[in-house]
Chains A and B, each alone.
Chain A
């Protein structure tokens, strides 16, 4: 499938995004770690033509989240060049050559505006010959075995942490529980696309060991790992809270198991202490709103309280933004995780415009993002924050944002602070 004897090096597929009679759009990596976005550009009777675009993880993330169109990913490559690979249909030969975007035949490009959004709703499809299973063994905790809520909590936070670790390696993974056995309660997990988690597990093992020794600053260790600190914090905290342990094991094709690492509540507490400061100062992607207009956030809450559907038409925004406004309402605590209005959301609707802004300001003050910005800017009131510092604040504290998204979120944060300041002047 992939050219092996070309200037691109020894390639392996990292993740297939679009499969139609074979992979047609995917990410691949060579032995020295260069990542490529690969797009099926053309075909004739004797060959297939592919574009291999060298791409950073941040840019790949922007493509996968729909922030960068497929066409822009190809015609605006970060390295200002890409590779064209002509793969023979008659034998296994392939020829790769470096090309420049200006020389690409436009008809070979994806349509204008074509984006992908790599979702989480794929269901499992397992390659049984090459199992990608791993086990999460949760300590018994009590004589009767772990409490059901402990199992649920550890599993939820482990899954989030592992997804974050795979994402830091350029892979979007989704894990499914495919079996369970009693005793030290063991849950077998598999990735939807058959992705092997070995690399991500090794990365997590090293991260925990580095944080435990405390030789370097925890913030630097976590930041350089690109793993979401909140997921790490939540996983460790649930082990402490439930006084339980988690052992991670991999399973090979013969069914033999190997322990990768184990964290008990004492070890979890030690590591939690090491990342204490980070948990206040850092903000993660899902804690930062991307909705410039607070009045539109309020409109979304009003519609939801009335039981009406949120649509691009009812909110006066483009379809992509509907989810951003739902997210903003969740960040502020007006919606719960199922996007249903909370009591605070109901209260907001009962108030007039000026009071709504006051409620929003108080709500934002209590969010991770608002609190981290206050902490970062050494202010005590949101209105004292310099709105123009939003970009710098995010650049220094945010995890999991690519450059484009960071700019968009900074615009939203800036707009919110200006709105709070204006209200204060009225």
Chain B
């Protein structure tokens, strides 16, 4: 999956700069965890960091064009427990990413290696592939 063709370029949101997703990104794949507002999740639950608050300026805009996911349940659980808004409003969903959804890159935090940035294509429907993680009650 490359980003070289103009057709491919059109498959990404129009606010993506030309170098996003970055060259190091790989086709999306594997099991991933995301904090969502409800089970089953909606497409809105997979909004990019930029879409989530378009007014905010981002130091790393390339990363803000993507969404945060985790490669393990623990990463998602620790993050949800750490912040009030997430504790009170989010559930943990698990799903399998597929190459047609977009591109991904391991973007570890200094405190966890499980953080992943996923750049979803315009027509991607990741929410259909996600369901409640083991720890969640539906």
Chains A and B are bound partners: yes
| Chain A interfacial positions (CB closer than 8 Å to B) | 1, 13, 15-25, 40-43, 70, 88-92, 107-111, 114, 116-119, 121-123, 125-129, 172, 192-194
User: Which secondary structure dominates chain B's binding surface?
Assistant: mixed
Instruction: Please provide the 5 A-B residue pairs with the shortest distance between their CB atoms, ordered closest to farther.
Output: A43-B85, A122-B108, A118-B110, A21-B49, A116-B111
Give complex CA distance A5, B86 in Å: 28
- When A1-B58, A43-B85, A111-B81 are in contact, do A19 and B64 touch as well, CB less than 8 Å? no
Contact of A128 with B19 in the complex, beta carbons under 8 Å: yes
Give complex CA distance A110, B78 in Å: 10
B residues 62-103 touching A (CB-CB < 8 Å): 62-64, 67-68, 79, 81-86
- When A22-B64, A108-B84 are in contact, do A16 and B109 touch as well, CB less than 8 Å? yes
Give complex CA distance A105, B97 in Å: 38
Give complex CA distance A400, B115 in Å: 29
Min CB–CB distance B55 → chain A (angstroms): 6
Give complex CA distance A13, B63 in Å: 15
Give complex CA distance A394, B35 in Å: 45
A-B contact count (CB 8 A): 97
Select one of A15, A22, A40 contacting B110, CB under 8 A: A15
Q: Residue among A19, A23, A24, A172 with the most chain B CB within 10 A? A: A19
Give complex CA distance A122, B62 in Å: 19
Select one of A13, A15, A114, A125 contacting B82, CB under 8 A: A114
Contact of B81 with A118 in the complex, beta carbons under 8 Å: no
12 A-B pairs (CB sep. < 8 Å): A17-B110, A17-B111, A18-B109, A43-B85, A88-B55, A89-B53, A92-B57, A110-B82, A114-B81, A125-B106, A127-B60, A128-B19
Q: Residue among A18, A107, A118 with the most chain B CB within 10 A? A: A18
Give complex CA distance A70, B68 in Å: 22
Contact of A119 with B110 in the complex, beta carbons under 8 Å: yes
Residues of B in contact, count (CB < 8 Å): 35
Measured between beta carbons, the chain A residues less than 8 angstroms from B55 are 88-92
Min CB–CB distance B7 → chain A (angstroms): 24
Give the residue name and chain of the B residue nearest to A90 (CB). B55
Give complex CA distance A172, B111 in Å: 11
Contact of B84 with A42 in the complex, beta carbons under 8 Å: yes
Contact of A19 with B106 in the complex, beta carbons under 8 Å: no
Contact of B106 with A123 in the complex, beta carbons under 8 Å: yes
B44 within 8 A of A: no
Min CB–CB distance A275 → chain B (angstroms): 31
Contact of A18 with B111 in the complex, beta carbons under 8 Å: yes
Measured between beta carbons, the chain A residues less than 8 angstroms from B57 are 1, 92
Measured between beta carbons, the chain B residues less than 8 angstroms from A108 are 84
Measured between beta carbons, the chain A residues less than 8 angstroms from B19 are 128-129
Contact of A128 with B22 in the complex, beta carbons under 8 Å: yes
